Amino acid sequence: MVKKGRIFAFFLIVAILAGLISTTVMGVAKEIKLGLDLQGGFEILYEVKPAHEGDVIDQEALRATVSALNQRVNVLGVSEPNIRIEGDNRIRVQLAGVADQATARELLATEASLTIRDVYDEVLVDGADLRQNGASSSFHPDTNDPIVTLTLDDARQMEQISRDMLSRPPAENLLVMWLDFEEGVDSYAEEALKEDPKYLSAATVREIIYSNTATISGNFTLEETQFLAEVLNAGALPVELEEMYSNSVGASLGEQAMQKTVYAGFIGVALIFAYMLFYYRFMGIIAVITLSTYIYLVLLVFNWMNAVLTLPGIAALILGVGMAVDANIITYERIKEEIRSGKSVMSAFKAGSRRSLSTILDANITTILAAAVLFSYGTSSVQGFAVMLIVSILTSFVTAVYGSRLLLGLWVNSRALNKKTRLFGVKEGEINEL
């Protein structure tokens, strides 16, 4: 007797998936951030060298330089810049959607220029006066509020500055911290009126400081003090950025590349769907449903990760479709073999699903290991490919294994497919009699 409730559950699940995907897939796709090879822009790989004899390029100095570069990129209005450390002395800068690349290059390659000025824009301290890596983020011992500790090379300079500030009226008792102050263009008087001023901080001096160490306190969050300390250290350690490699992609070229890649992807996926429907019949329909769900889930997870989609990432997504199909094919072929051996449809489904699992696991685990190696040792494009591949494999395991078995199992357990071996791509003449 056919159990119609299971068939109804199948169509209900498919209807929910179809409604969810059709109403949200375009929004999810539009929210995914595109790499510079898809929307245009440029990337530069810099080698970081000390600007002065005796300076040391360590991880602390590299992190400080990255913070200073991020601060400069904000001036360009770039959304989601990608600036990261590679190796012991290299920094890769990726800026997508930048129109004026010449200005961006000049801005990035200039040494960090940190100054502390008064309200009249007179220089009190510059980066050369700060001790290397002398700024740090910590907490006030009494209030436990986030603060920044600042160390100068000369204690007398700190005493003189603090004494001078205390002698001024409260409105003038401010140490204004700037990064890349432009003479004749920037001024405290104008920036103080803005909601988001260009200067980094304006601290009040509360007492004469007799040591070379001072604390900057205020209504800071921990992240703000960490950023401020890193920028201070970048100003204390001017570095030379030597360009080792650059790659520029025009906006129109990036758009064309994306259109062609997506078009090729649609053709490839359509051919896979057609093959599965032709060769596996009813099981092919299940595969088309699970593969469509797989593509949607990959895009959804990638968007949740706030990751950047690149051309290699799209290639990894399409490769993931092949991996998901492979898992389906392994399972379906095992089921067909069990049917040919003379087992019933229900017995063949259970045995084929169970015996195919170890093979699928082995294939997925080895591919994940290879992708992990690519991510660990590869450059940005290779890492993007690896991340998308790992996400694709994990998602395909859920959809192609569990999703496919759930949907096919509803039909098999409903008994509607009993003795209908042709729906599984097996002719009656191929079945061995027990």
Task: Summarize pLDDT for 245-298 with one digit per residue, the tens.
Answer: 777 766 566 667 777 877 888 888 888 888 888 888 888 888 889 888 888 888
Full pLDDT tens readout for the chain, 434 residues: 667 788 888 889 989 989 998 888 888 877 777 776 777 777 888 888 876 677 778 887 788 778 777 766 765 555 567 788 888 888 888 777 666 667 677 667 665 567 888 888 888 877 767 776 777 788 877 778 787 787 777 778 878 888 888 888 888 888 888 877 778 888 888 888 888 888 877 878 777 777 777 777 667 778 777 777 776 666 555 577 788 877 776 656 666 777 787 788 888 888 888 888 888 888 888 888 988 888 888 888 878 877 777 777 788 888 888 878 888 888 888 888 888 888 888 888 888 888 888 888 888 888 889 888 888 877 666 777 888 888 888 888 888 778 888 888 888 888 877 777 777 777 777 777 54
Task: Summarize pLDDT for 386-411 with one digit per residue, the tens.
Answer: 888 888 888 888 887 788 888 888 88
Kindly report the pTM of this predicted structure: 0.60
Q: Which residues pair with 44 in a beta bridge?
A: 93, 246
Closest residue by Cα to residue 152 from 113, 126, 119, 183: 126
The tokens of 256 are what?
Answer: 């064309």
Query: In sequence order, which residues have a C-beta less than 8 Å from that of residue 76 and are 6 or more positions away?
Result: 95, 98, 100, 103, 104, 107
DSSP annotation of 400: I
Where do the DSSP E strands lie in 161-305? 175-179, 201-203, 213-216, 239-249
What DSSP assignment string belongs to 149-190? EEEBS-HHHHHHHHHHHHTS-GGG--EEEEES--TTT--HHH
In the sheet that holds 82-86, the strands lie side by side as 82-86, 90-96, 41-50, 239-249
Tokens 């399409």 locate to 318
353, 331 in Cβ contact below 8 A?
Answer: yes
Alpha-carbon dihedral 130, 135, 141, 145, rounded to 10 degrees = 120
In angstroms, rounded to a whole number, what is the distance separating the alpha carbons of residues 214 and 211?
8
